[in-house]
Amino acid sequence: MKRLIVMSIMGIIFLSGCTLPTYKGGIEPIYPGVRTSGKRYETVDTLTPTFRWKSDVTSPCTYDFAIWDVGRTITGINAFEVTKGPAVYYKEALSKPEHTVEIPLGPDTLYFWSVRIRSNGKVSAWATFDYSSWVGVAASEGRNWLYSFKTPKVGAE
């Protein structure tokens, strides 16, 4: 019995903080990647980063790429919901699963990004991901999240 309790506690500690992202829309982000715990974004190294993704589509296709400001909507006392703000960058008919932003983005700014697929006359929804994470017995979930990233501070040091 004692061994079972110790093994159970070790299992809970081992599983603490596990996160299971599920990519939707046939796209898996490579850079910047997905983070679902702690800071939910990766800071890129330039204001004109190169985005990379992996596609599940095997037939000929092109990609649409977009970046949006992160908006916030007040949902109650001291609570807010992160929402997709206005689009700040858009490019379509990309033939490769990567793209370098052609205009500088704002410094020290949080953005969302995503890709959609055009193939055989059809346009997919913007790619998103779902996640489930837990720490011990506490859990959180997110559904249909766009990928996020933050630009570096410039001239702040």
Cα 32 from chain centroid? 8
What digits encode the pLDDT tens for the residues 81-128?
567 788 999 999 999 999 999 999 999 999 999 999 999 999 999 998
Q: How many domains, the chain?
A: 1
3-state secondary structure (DSSP) of residue 23: strand
Any domain includes 118: yes
Any domain includes 138: yes
Q: What mean pLDDT is reported for the chain?
A: 80
User: pLDDT: is 7 or 119 the higher one?
Assistant: 119
3-state secondary structure (DSSP) of residue 112: strand
Confidence of residue 157 (pLDDT cuts 50, 70, 90): very low
Rounded to an integer, what distance in angstroms lies between the CA atom of residue 103 and that of residue 98? 16
Any domain includes 134: yes
Any domain includes 155: no
pTM of the model: 0.76
Rounded to an integer, what distance in angstroms lies between the CA atom of residue 42 and that of residue 150? 6
Any domain includes 157: no
Residue 53 structural domain: 2-150
